[in-house]
A = this chain, B = another copy of it.
């Protein structure tokens, strides 16, 4: 369990100045309390604080939610009046309920994953059940985050509530991506039947379980959050959970009515190579363009193959075939840390883990994937950190390298500096990293969720009825 360990390390580091300051403050304080005059000062100070609390009660509430009433004296109204003067405003923190799912959907999946790999672990000893590292770990990090005690969750954009009646949103912690890879790819009859685990059965069982929950019934699942970061995760039951906020890597395998930028959240892959900890610069980055990965893919395969052909003859370009393994991850780390640009062609679906490996390597991504969706794009302007090249010209011989050779060292440094700025959004391990940003993105869906839930309850119309936002000004939607 790397996450809690790192969290503590980072957390302590982050709080150090606070402790230093506090101890200095305490010294100052104890010196002062020796003098009788300070007791009086203290008393007056607290009287003023108390008066301030009283004072707040005279303000009217500027709370955005209509029926909530703030009971704490330092309430939303007073806070917003203060904060507006500084250009900030307060909103009630979004309340999330973590479903206590039957074990089969969480630790049970880890258990079966271990069993299928020959480990003999005790199903009831949770600490022995380590979630294995792979590229779709959002489900683990979000679950671990909500499961932590509140004291360790300070700074999170969402508050966990233990009473589902108080919740704005419901988190369903099914390990859907791990479930997909429980059974390793191996020849039939070689022992995989021992695990007796069938992903599709578990998906079906989850939907049956959800359908029995009153909070699911109440909103038809609209206020539920489900992680399906592997593009194939949840595929069997996707039509039955498509009302929910889905946390996905892209919409490559989803129809527009199953997933959309409006309803869902694009989450980053968990990067699989080591973060580059050095500074910006191109001195140690001799390779112009680096790519390592599978040359042949199910879809988009032709483009990859063509890119291989036109790039492998270039001197300062490293492009090589490689499958997932510890060995090739080490080679990829080495390559990405010593290259100026990292190629990101479409994988089986428009997204791939490689983009996030490149970002944490400060290797400027060169994205050749026309219909890619990118995480947190309201917050991150990807043109500042990546080069986008349209597929059609990119597969013309010479075009890609000529563009990249035309980018000045100063411009590369600009890209690298921006990469450094946004890197934390792609670090699931960091205290204010990917996990918090995912919660922030999920929180932003809440107004539309509430609107849809309220509206659906009073609607009579039975026809399909979609609200959209479109990129193309001349688009006309036919329903």
The 8 closest A-B pairs by CB, nearest first: A464-B475, A17-B58, A468-B468, A378-B451, A261-B467, A378-B450, A466-B470, A260-B467
List 7 other contacts, CB 8 Å, given A32-B44, A76-B88, A85-B154: A38-B44, A79-B88, A242-B473, A256-B476, A257-B470, A388-B460, A462-B472
User: Quick one: CB contact mask for A255-279 with B, threshold 8 Å, 1 for yes?
Assistant: 1110011110000000000000000
Give chain B residues whose Cβ lies under 8 Å from the Cβ of A382.
454, 458
The reply on A51 being an interface residue by CB < 8 A is yes
Q: Report yes or no: B454 in contact with A381, Cβ–Cβ below 8 A.
A: yes
Mark A residues whose CB is within 8 Å of B.
14, 17-18, 21, 25, 32, 37-38, 40-41, 44-45, 48, 51, 54-55, 58-62, 64-67, 70, 72, 74-76, 79-81, 83-93, 95, 154-157, 159, 220, 239, 242-243, 255-257, 260-263, 370-371, 374, 377-383, 388, 390-391, 421-422, 425, 431-432, 436, 440-441, 444, 446-452, 454-479
22 pairs from A and B in contact (CB 8 Å cutoff): A60-B155, A61-B432, A64-B379, A70-B86, A79-B83, A79-B88, A80-B155, A83-B93, A84-B155, A88-B91, A257-B468, A263-B467, A378-B446, A378-B451, A383-B457, A461-B471, A463-B472, A464-B474, A465-B471, A466-B470, A467-B470, A478-B478
CB distance from A422 to the nearest CB of B (A): 6
The interface residues of chain B lying within 8 Å CB-to-CB of A61 are 432
Residues of B within 8 A of A454 (CB): 377-378, 380-383
B58 with A256: CB separation less than 8 A: no
Assess the B371–A461 pair: CB atoms within 8 A. Answer: yes
Residue of B nearest to A24 (CB): B51
Chain B contacts for A380, CB-based, 8 A: 66, 454
Chain B residues with Cβ below 8 Å from A25 are 51, 55
Contact A159-B87, Cβ < 8 Å, known A383-B458, A479-B475: yes
Given contacts A81-B154, A256-B466, A468-B257, contact A477 B479 (CB under 8 A): yes
Are B390 and A460 in touch, CB under 8 angstroms?
yes
Contact status of A440 and B64, CB under 8 A, knowing A88-B90, A159-B84, A260-B469? yes
Task: Considering the complex, give the chain B residue whose CB is closest to the CB of A73.
Answer: B86
- Contact partner, A84, options B93, B461, B466, B472, Cβ 8 Å: B93
Q: State the Cβ distance, A468 to closest chain B Cβ, in Å.
A: 4
Does the CB pair A452–B475 fall under 8 Å?
no
User: A448 — which chain B residues lie within 8 A by C-beta?
Assistant: 261-262, 378, 469
Instruction: Verify B467–A421 contact, CB threshold 8 A.
Output: no
A473:B21 contact, CB within 8 angstroms: no
Residue of B nearest to A475 (CB): B464
| A460 & B370 in contact (Cβ 8 Å cutoff) | yes
Closest to A452 in B: B469
